[in-house]
Each structure stands twice: as structure tokens, then as C-alpha cells.
A and B are shown apart, each in its own frame.
Chain A
Amino acid sequence: MNQSSDWNPPVRRTGGAREPARRGAEPSSLADILERVLDKGIVIAGDIQINLLDIELLTIKIRLLVASVDRAKEMGIDWWEHDPSLSSGARDVLEENERLRRRVGELEDGRGARREDDHGTQGAEREDER
């Protein structure tokens, strides 16, 4: 067992369980509350319909927001990579974005190079183009 010094266990530990638990004696953690009031609890249709999907999206959003992707992957949480509705669209956008950036970069480089050529001796490329 090679426990290193930077391993920080959670604040509330096993030992606390020995004390007689009182309802609401200690403020519960936000994560504990959210996973219960958003994900659990009996669901009945109210007069104002909030799409449960919204709530799920929200919790997903929080998860993505706060858990760094690497850390999540390290824990084996990589469902978004296998969820076509989430990943393919996002990946396409990212790829497209990357492609466009490269293209813009190429164009800028090209133009810069040509401008230099214009000021200096005539480049071979330009000669060819004529």
C-alpha cells in the first residue's frame, strides 16, 4: 500500500457514523442533495411541465463542467464518446473547426509568404503562375 501524502480523503469520515445521527443535524453536501432532489423522489406530472430531459441535461452539464475530461476518463467515464447524439455532433464541429483553423492558417501563411515575395525578388511560384 503506497499511500502518498497528497491523497486527501473526504472531510466527513467513517468515524462520524458512531455519533447518533440526527435528522438535519449537519448540512448535507450539495452533491448529495442534488442527486436526490433532481434524480430521485417520486415523479408526478404537475401543472407546469418542466421537461425532465432539461434536468438530465443540467446534471450532465454540471458533470462535464466540473469533472475534467481526463479525470473522468481515468475513472472510466467516457460515455459521451460512445453516445452518438452527444459525441458525433460535437466531434464534427470540433473537426470542422480544426480544419477551418488550419485552412485560415495556411491562407495567412501563404499570403504572408507571397507578400514577402512581392517585396523581394520574384518567387519561382509567381513566375510559374504567370
Chain B
Amino acid sequence: MRLVESAGLAAVVGSVPLADFDEDALRDHLEDLEWLERTARAHHRVINGAARHGQVIPLRFATLYHDDDRVRAMLRERRDDFTATLRRVAGRTEWGVKAYVDPRSFLPDPDEPTGGEGSPGTAYLMRRRAQRQDQETAHLRATERAEEIHASLAALAVATAAHPPQDTALAAYEGWMVLNNSYLVPDALSEEFTALVTDLGARYPAVTLEVSGPWPPYSFTAPPKRAEDAQPEETPS
């Protein structure tokens, strides 16, 4: 890895063989989960390593230039964007928080059996409908808890980002992942934030919370779109 500098910015650059990264090769490789894992982890390792030495803006996986001059040109062209983004994430760290629930913990208490009258077929259909409604109720209740947890965590963050629930084969878990969010937290509040996750875990015993991080600010480098991302800048303490 090396630094390519221009316009007061430095890009962390590594050379890769074109044979592996031209359009066709890349498309094939992206279908190969083993290759993808190796390469994505390498991408992450470099960003993580650079983040130890200063504020970084993670670029999307497989951002490719033909030579260093093109990288310098890109740094010059995007200088304003990059400096604005750097200001936005400076002194702040991304934390990931996930919430898992066992759906059974959120099922309504079983009422006395309904559908005693009528034919067995009707009773069966009634039972099926009740089961489906119970699932919906459980999901709603679990989602409400997740929203309460999110609101508490968001109070310590300057921005939040939501990820979709993860695949169960890529991330081994059972039940429902009802929260998978990233929080951009001022460094001064890092300990408070992780302690809050622990407290919330105790406050909501039916919800299992998991914190990951600190992450380089992957989820907060896109230009702000929503109001909550576009909070006025304060001087980082």
C-alpha cells in the first residue's frame, strides 16, 4: 500500500492485477463468495489500519483507477466533497448495534381456544388465522422495542444509518434481527455509548443486543440526504 497525495489529501492506494479486476473478471469474482470474503476483508483491513493514523473516508469496495495520475486527478476534482465529508466525520466513530429477539417471547398470551363451534375445517382456518395474527403481533411488539432502543441510542449519536437484517447463513443467529443500525458517535461519548448498549440489554431482557465497532465511518460518508444526517456542524471537542 502507498500514499498518493494531491490537493492536501492523500489516497491510500494498492495495485491489483488487471486480470482480476477488469469488468468481466470482477463480475465473475463477485459471484465467488470465497474471493469476495478475502478481498472485502482486505479492503476493510486497509481502511481500518489507515483509520488508526487519522481521519479516513472509506471508499466503496473496488474503486479502480488505471494509474496514480488518475487518482491525483480524482482527489483534485472531489476535493470539496472530501473535505466536507472529513469535517462531518472528524472526531466521530461508527458503532454498529444489532438487536435479536426470539419471536416466541413476544407472542400474545394464549387466549381460551376459539373456534370450538363450526366444522373442523372452519376451526382449522380460524386457528391458522390466529397464528398468523399472533406472528404479526409479535413482530410489531418486537419492532416497537427495537424502536425504543434505537431512540435511546440515537440520542448519543450525531447521525444514524439503517442496514437491512442480515442473512442467517452469513451471520449465525436465530429468531429475528429487529435492529441493525449504525451510529455516528462523538469520540468523547464512545464509552457512554457502549455502556448504554449494556444498560439497554439489561432493561430489555427479551432483546439480545450486540455492539460492533469501532468502525471507520463507512455508513456516514455518503452525502447527507435525510434531515438527521444533516445536523449543523459543531466544533469537534
Contact = CB atoms under 8 A, between A and B. Distances in A.
Nearest to A65: B169
B4 interface: no
Interface of B: 21-23, 26-27, 30-31, 33, 36-37, 40-41, 43-45, 48-49, 51-52, 57-66, 70, 74, 78, 81, 85, 96, 98, 100, 102-105, 107, 135, 139, 161, 163-176, 180, 190-191, 194-195, 197-198, 201, 205-206, 208-215, 218-219, 221-222
Q: Looking at chain A's contact residues, is the secondary structure mostly helix, strand, loop, or mixed?
A: loop
Contacts of B40: 30, 33-34, 37-38
A23 B170 contact: no
Nearest to B43: A37
A120 interface: no
Contact of A3 (B37, B102, B168): B102
Contacts of B44: 28, 33, 36-37
A48 interface: yes
A10 B206 contact: no
Given A2-B104, A14-B210, A33-B44, A7 B170 contact: no
B215 A36 contact: yes
Contacts of A23: 48, 51-52, 214
A124 interface: no
A82 B103 CA distance: 25
Contacts of B62: 46, 48, 50
B58 to A, nearest CB: 4
